[in-house]
Amino acid sequence: MGIHAVKSCARLVVLASGGGRTLENLHQRILGGHLDAEISLVIVSRGDLGAAERARRLQLPMLVIGPKNYPNTERRNDLLIGAILEARPDWVILAGWLQLLPIPPQLEGRVLNIHPALLPAYGGKGFWGHHVHEAVVKDGALLSGCTVHFATSEYDQGPAVLQTAVALEGKESADEVAAKVFAAETEAFPEALELLIDGRLTWHKNQVYWGNSAPVIED
C-alpha cells in the first residue's frame, strides 16, 4: 500500500482592531468545512475590544499588541512581526486592523486586507470603517462594495484579489450602507482566501495572476 501525503490546511494569523465579526465569520466558515484553514493566532490591538471577546469565546489563541500596552512604535512592531512569524502563517488576515503593518520580506504577498469600498475609490489614509460609508453617502453614490487586496507598505495600495459590488439607492444612511457592504464582505473574504489557498490565484512582484499565468520564478 502506497503512502499518501496528507494535505495540511492553511495556517491563518488574524489581526483585528474592532468588533471581530470578520474573525468569527472566517472561524464559522472553517468549522463548516467551507474553508480549508485553521486560525493559529489572533492578535488584537486592545484586550477590551469585541474581537478579543470573540477570540476568547471561540477559544482561539490570542495576543494583545497595541499602542496602549506597547506605546513605543518600534518595539510594538518588532513584537508584532515576531509573533506573526513565530506562528508560521500561510496567510495573515487584516480583519479591521487599523494600524499600518510593516511587512517584512518573509510576509510579502501573504498579507490580505479587506476594504469596505471598491478601491481605488474611497481608499487611502483616513478612509476606514464608518468614514468610508459616510463619504459614500455624502457623494450620493449608487454603487459601493468591498475589495480584498494584498496589503503593502501603503494604505489600500496593494493589488486586488477580488471585488464585490453592492447597489445603492442613494438614500441609505451610513449605517445602512455599512450593513449592505458587510454582508458582501462575509462572502468575499472567504472566497478570495479560498482562491489563494487552492492556488487558483497567485501573487508575484506585487501583481495578481490567475491559474498558471504567473511568470516562472527561476533561482
For 114-219, which CATH superfamily applies? Formyl transferase, N-terminal domain (3.40.50.170)
Q: With bands split at pLDDT 50, 70 and 90, how would you rate the model's confidence at 128?
A: confident
Q: Is 133 annotated as catalytic?
A: no
Percent of the chain whose predicted confidence (pLDDT) is above 90? 80
- Write down the mean pLDDT value for the chain: 91
- Identical fold for domains 8-107 and 114-219, yes or no, is yes
Which pLDDT value is given to residue 7? 53
pLDDT of residue 93: 98
Give the pLDDT band (50/70/90) at residue 214.
Answer: low
Separation between Cα atoms, residue 165 and residue 131, nearest integer Å: 18
- Tens of pLDDT, residues 25-36: 999 999 999 999
Confidence at residue 28, expressed as pLDDT on a 0 to 100 scale = 97
**Is the distance from CB of 148 to CB of 113 less than 8 angstroms?**
yes
Question: Phi and psi dihedrals of 59, rounded to 5?
Answer: 60, 45
3-state DSSP call for residue 135?
helix
For 19-24, what is the mean pLDDT? 96
Please report, for the chain, the start and end positions of each structural domain, with discontinuous segments joined by +. 8-107, 114-219
For residue 54, which of 110, 16, 90 has the smallest C-alpha distance? Answer: 16
- Name the grid cell of 31: 468549522
Cβ of 77: how many Cβ atoms within 10 Å?
A: 17
Kindly state the cell numbers that stand for 63: 495576543
Place of cell 450602507: 177
pLDDT at 215 over 70: no
Angle at 15 between CA 65 and CA 21, to 5 degrees: 125
- The answer on pLDDT for 6 being more than 70 is no
Confidence of residue 210 (pLDDT cuts 50, 70, 90): confident
pLDDT tens-digit map of 55-109: 999 999 999 999 999 999 999 999 999 999 999 999 999 998 988 899 999 999 9
Q: What is the pTM of this model?
A: 0.90
Going by pLDDT thresholds of 50, 70 and 90, the confidence category of residue 219 is: very low
CATH superfamily, region 8-107:
Formyl transferase, N-terminal domain (3.40.50.170)
The secondary structure of residue 6, as a DSSP letter, is: P
- Catalytic one of 27, 115, 133, 149: 115
Residue 1 in this model has a pLDDT that exceeds 50: no
